[in-house]
Amino acid sequence: MNEVVSYELHDGIADVLIDNPPVNATSHAVRAGLDEAVRRFGGDADAKAMVVRCAGKTFVAGADIKEFGRPALPPPLPDVLKAIDHCDKPIVAAVHGTVLGGGFEVALACHYRVAAADARFGFPEVKLGLVPGAGGTQRGVRLAGLADTITLITEGKPISASKAEAMGLVDEVAQGDLVEAARAFARRLVAEGKGPRRAGDLPMPTDDPDLFDKARKSLGREMRGQEAPMKALEAIRLGYEMDFESALVREYEMCKEMIAAPQSRALRHIFAAEREVVKVPGLSADVAPRDIKRAGVIGLGVMGRGIVMAIAAAGIPVTAVAADADHLAAAQKAITKMLSSTVDKGRLKQDEMDRRLERIQWSVAIEDLADADLVIEAVTEDIAIKREVFAALGKATRPGTILASNTSFLDIEALAKASQRSEDTCGMHFFNPAHIMRLLENVRAAGTAPDVVATIMAFGKTIGKLPVLSGVCEGFIVNRMLSKRSREAFFLVEEGAAPAAIDNVLVDYGFPMGPLALGDLAGLDVQAAARASRKDSATARELRADFPEQLVAAGRLGQKTGSGWYSYDENRKASANEDTTRMIAAHAERHGLTLRDIGDQEVRERLLFAMVNEGAKILDEGVASRPQDIDVAMVNGLGWPAYTGGPMFWADQLGLDHVLRTIERFQDEQGAGYWTPSPLLVRLAEEGKGFYG
């Protein structure tokens, strides 16, 4: 057909092979080739049935995202799928790997589907701010019914082949070789005289307005601020409002409108940026990562345990070292309990839990790390203690063993000096809970060897994380930016904004929680300790806004004590706390502060622009080498809403001139100490540019 789609005849069965690496996306050449293949099949009297399959590790994983935003070259995917659908001889899709988005739609337009046992199916379009545009909503709902289709399309999560079969989306799960199974299936169709079976000929399932209402409510809650999930419901409903062919036309129009809309552009930016950040600029592809056969973790508190679990889950043996037998026993018990509860919930098999536990070698002796290739330190956040540990690690491990600190803000250079192995020393900052959170902030110090950087980036991917590289500074990318948001939140409280009003502004904007609720979750004692460690560099006003310290003094450490900024019930549901209101009033009186009404816009801009300005400084200083690193880190580490594209992309969309003018206004109102615009921001705004050019 062409360079990416081939057509061969095998024993009366046309074999159409798509070979468009890396993921067989429906790029122009695939659409054109497939279109031609269907026509050729139609006119090939010797071909009685056709099998569509893909080369490489996956069936079509979707439309070609790289073509979005450019003029679409014909034929459009819906037209190709119409040709498949309307073909008068049977067409079977033989699918493997990740059958996603437009790929799932190709499979659904075929008349029958045979799947490899480990194939995964899904409509991830909502994650790109889109609705399926090539029949997914209409063929999907007719085959799988209403409830399952709503879940599949609005949540965008993939399902297994067996689940897809149970839902009626797959006809056969191949037990052996997929191609053989699909050809045999096609031959059977021919032998039994079965022709095409079109999903569009099936009736729509009975309408259920209550189901749509429930979905609308839960999406409004769970996917706050996102347009695509609600639009997906509208797209599914098209089947009740018009005939099948008209619904397909409207569905494609909706998809195209959304491709051009800001949310999809932002989400596609994050998709591309997440793939970009793992490639370190200036690090030659010739730099081979070191081999990590065994890892070690020293310090088995909450973070250390999570890191041990993440490593063991990835199949890597890990030596877990605690300070003493009591800490070791507590860690063993906690890890076993967490794994058991995952087994109880049916999300992990017992034998896999056993294998993970077998990979963990427990110890209280630092010498047992002698055979580790990488050691991650997760002891108490105290530079003196960490220095001692790094000095000991420098001796206990062999040269070449990577020594990484999980510190969230302490100086990696000081630890490199203590280890006397600067070239082997770096940071690997996990986020809590470490076995679940995807972001990993890897930190390169001045003397860190290039192959150590290559190793921690590769290792991060191996253990299922999304690694972003940061340079050394207090708090690295995420916590440094977050500290500016906390500062503004405390100042806003001092000026008269109610805690719930502050938090709600960000929750409404799409953050999982606001800054004060986050303090309650993380522990106000932890926040107070972090403030104490930074008190030498804090201003008088920052020291005065000592709310975490006041709450801790009142025994209110946050969720873990049932109260902090808020009160918590036994299900950790928050409610307003009168004591907090009294604390704020007393604080204002003590310091002679006048409280004022503060509008949501000011709250939002002060919380968010404080982070953008700090992000610009981080970029200017070279702590982050690209704006992508910041956007990806903030979306995945802090829950900055992905549909805005992250702080730097978002600021570009607002216009840096507007951002700068607002920051200058805050500078006038709040004082230069807090709102000095980043020189990079000033320069780019003057040049009429954005962080992305």
Binding site for ligand 3H9 (CB under 6 A): 22-23, 25, 58, 61-66, 77, 98, 100-102, 105, 124-125, 128, 130, 132-134, 136, 255, 275
Residue 276 or 474: the one with the smaller Cβ distance to ligand 3H9 is 276
Residue 121 or 666: the one with the smaller Cβ distance to ligand 3H9 is 121
Question: Tokens at residue 163, please?
Answer: 């689940």
Q: Which residue has the tokens 């699909």?
A: 182
Residue 85 or 602: the one with the smaller Cβ distance to ligand 3H9 is 85
| Shortest distance (Å) from residue 98 CB to ligand 3H9 | 4
Among residues 85, 83, 91, 239, which one has the least CA distance to residue 153?
A: 239
Residue 61 or 414: the one with the smaller Cβ distance to ligand 3H9 is 61
| Shortest distance (Å) from residue 152 CB to ligand 3H9 | 13
For residues 64 and 26, the answer to whether their CB atoms sit within 8 Å is yes
For residues 154 and 215, the answer to whether their CB atoms sit within 8 Å is yes
Residue 322 or 635: the one with the smaller Cβ distance to ligand 3H9 is 635
Residue 136 or 460: the one with the smaller Cβ distance to ligand 3H9 is 136
Question: Tokens at residue 463, please?
Answer: 């253990």
Residue 303 or 466: the one with the smaller Cβ distance to ligand 3H9 is 466
The answer to whether the peptide bond before residue 433 is cis (omega within 30 degrees of 0) is yes
Residue 65 or 500: the one with the smaller Cβ distance to ligand 3H9 is 65
| Shortest distance (Å) from residue 25 CB to ligand 3H9 | 4
Q: Which residue has the tokens 């940071």?
A: 427
CA-to-CA separations, 635 to 126, 355, 424, 486, 582, in angstroms, rounded? 16, 33, 29, 17, 35
Question: Tokens at residue 316, please?
Answer: 């890597």
How do strand 402-405 and strand 374-377 relate by DSSP bridges?
Answer: parallel
DSSP state of 411: -
CB contact burial 478-506 (16+ within 10 A = b; e otherwise): bbbbbbbbbbbbbbbbbbebbbbbbbebb
DSSP track, 328-364: HHHHHHHHHHHHHHHHHTTSS-HHHHHHHHHTEEEES
| Shortest distance (Å) from residue 78 CB to ligand 3H9 | 6
The residues that are catalytic are 408, 429, 441, 479
Contacts of 589-595 with CB under 8 Å at 24 or more apart are: 591/494, 591/544, 593/494, 593/495, 594/496, 595/495, 595/496
| Shortest distance (Å) from residue 220 CB to ligand 3H9 | 23
User: Cβ-count burial of 537 within 10 angstroms (0-12 exposed, 13-18 middle, 19+ buried)?
Assistant: exposed
Residue 185 or 244: the one with the smaller Cβ distance to ligand 3H9 is 244
| Shortest distance (Å) from residue 465 CB to ligand 3H9 | 13
Instruction: Give CA–CA dist 87/423, Å, rounded.
Output: 63
Among residues 503, 470, 472, which one has the least CA distance to residue 485?
A: 503
CB contact burial 445-474 (16+ within 10 A = b; e otherwise): bebbbebbbbbbbebbebbebbbbbbbbbe
For residues 111 and 41, the answer to whether their CB atoms sit within 8 Å is no
Number of H helices, E strands in the chain: 30, 19
How do strand 5-10 and strand 13-18 relate by DSSP bridges?
Answer: antiparallel
| Shortest distance (Å) from residue 148 CB to ligand 3H9 | 18
| Shortest distance (Å) from residue 628 CB to ligand 3H9 | 12
Among residues 545, 521, 428, 408, which one has the least CA distance to residue 474?
A: 408
Instruction: Give CA–CA dist 29/578, Å, rounded.
Output: 65
Among residues 87, 4, 6, which one has the least CA distance to residue 48?
A: 87
Instruction: Give CA–CA dist 216/84, Å, rounded.
Output: 34
Residue 61 or 303: the one with the smaller Cβ distance to ligand 3H9 is 61
Residue 74 or 176: the one with the smaller Cβ distance to ligand 3H9 is 74
Among residues 653, 633, 655, which one has the least CA distance to residue 644?
A: 653
| Shortest distance (Å) from residue 335 CB to ligand 3H9 | 28
CA-to-CA separations, 591 to 546, 584, 588, 673, in angstroms, rounded? 12, 11, 5, 20
| Shortest distance (Å) from residue 268 CB to ligand 3H9 | 9
| Shortest distance (Å) from residue 106 CB to ligand 3H9 | 10
Question: In one letter, which amino acid is 225?
Answer: G
Handedness of CA 621, 627, 629, 630 (dihedral sign): positive
| Shortest distance (Å) from residue 676 CB to ligand 3H9 | 37
Question: In one letter, which amino acid is 439?
Answer: L
Instruction: Give CA–CA dist 661/686, Å, rounded.
Output: 11
What count of Cα atoms within 13 Å lies in the side-chain half-sphere of residue 578?
A: 0
Residue 212 or 271: the one with the smaller Cβ distance to ligand 3H9 is 271
Among residues 533, 529, 463, 476, which one has the least CA distance to residue 297?
A: 463
